Amino acid sequence: MKNFVFNLSCFFLLCNGSVLCQTGTHEHDGLFIRMLLGAGYAELVEKNVMGSDLKISGTTVPLRFQLGGEFIKNLIAYGEFGFASQTNPEMEWIGQSGSTSDVSVSVGDLGIGITYYLMPINIYFCLSGLYSSVQLEYNNTKSESEIEFDNINGINVMVGKEWWVGAQWALGVALYGYYSDMNVQTSIEGINYEYFTRNYSIGVMFSATYN
């Protein structure tokens, strides 16, 4: 936890000293706030679950929030957190597959990142390093990991376009790609298990940005 707080603090200290001051119109300066909501496809794979990989795939609904400030001209540094959920996904295990109504997957993360804007066309590129966790519930059995702040285990990339709708506000749309891996713990019939898990997601997100 200390490592994460230190890293996040460094990013904010490196930002422009006038981070709370918006000095221009239709410019990327000062305080930066971006809220994103979208939809996509996600796939989670738990390796070697009782001798076979367990794959869960389907639509996902991601939510992200980024807060930071201008680092250098058109380059934003920020801290962020995100959440994504899957319900009623497809599941494949031991050669059998099908849809199910009693499975849910939740992925959460905290991290730091940067956004660079190509101006004046207002196209941006994002890269974030994340501390991620996942929770899987199936037939009253819960598998979950905890966020470990010792090492970054996730990444999120975005390419987007925004349109100004006010002096400091813009609305936009972006393509995103997400990846994380971690160890997941569960207990089945009183026996504890630990699995290595990979999680992928791609899709579209819509944004509202204040900058």
Q: Where are the alpha helices (DSSP H) in the chain?
A: 2-14
Amino acid at 160: G
CB-CB contact of 208 with 169 (8 Å) = yes
pLDDT digits (tens, 9 = 90+) for 174-200: 999 999 998 887 766 666 777 888 999
Which residue has better confidence, 99 or 207? 207
Structure token pair of residue 88: 């009623």
Tell me the one-letter amino acid at 183.
Answer: N
Q: What is the pTM of this model?
A: 0.81
